Amino acid sequence: MSFTSKIRDLRKARGITQQQAAELFGVSWSAYQKYERENNSVMPSLGVIIKMANEFHVSLDYLLGLSECKTHDDTANTIKMLYEKLLSGLSSIPEPEKLDKLKAMCDLLDSK
């Protein structure tokens, strides 16, 4: 989903107009309209994007398309779920294979 789609959807979910959003973020209505317009190369300043993330209660990573997790809590929950899945998966592996799997995972992490 694009930045413009995200801020439009977040604004609508909050139940505010473009004019109200513009006032909330300290920009003109015409500037805000451009932020929501698809195929528009106008991006808000970093300060405005930070205000948007704070007001919409989402992470900057989500707004900028770096993560699909809307909030840091979503990210933490995803990490916890994956960790639990990993532990569960390891418990079902026979002991001789478990060491090889763990070494392979460590090698993968070390290759960063």
Asked if residue 91 and residue 54 are part of one domain, the reply reads no
Closest listed residue to residue 42, CA positions, set 27, 60, 20: 27
Asked if residue 14 and residue 66 are part of one domain, the reply reads yes
For position 100, what pLDDT does the model report?
A: 87
DSSP string, 22-65: HHHHT--HHHHHHHHSTT------HHHHHHHHHHHT--HHHHTT
pLDDT digits (tens, 9 = 90+) for 61-77: 899 988 777 766 666 76
Give the mean pLDDT of the chain.
87
Asked if residue 64 and residue 10 are part of one domain, the reply reads yes
Asked if residue 55 and residue 78 are part of one domain, the reply reads no
pLDDT digits (tens, 9 = 90+) for 86-97: 888 888 888 888
CA angle 1, 78, 74 (to 5 degrees): 60
Asked if residue 79 and residue 57 are part of one domain, the reply reads no
Confidence of residue 18 (pLDDT cuts 50, 70, 90): very high
Cα(60)–Cα(36) distance, integer angstroms: 17
Asked if residue 104 and residue 62 are part of one domain, the reply reads no
CA distances from 90 to 21, 26, 27, 101, 102 (A): 49, 52, 52, 8, 9
Mean pLDDT, range 3-8, rounded to an integer: 94
State both tokens at 82: 């994956």
Per-residue pLDDT for 40 more than 70? yes
Domain extent for 102: 73-110
For position 33, what pLDDT does the model report?
A: 95
Q: How many structural domains are present in the chain?
A: 2
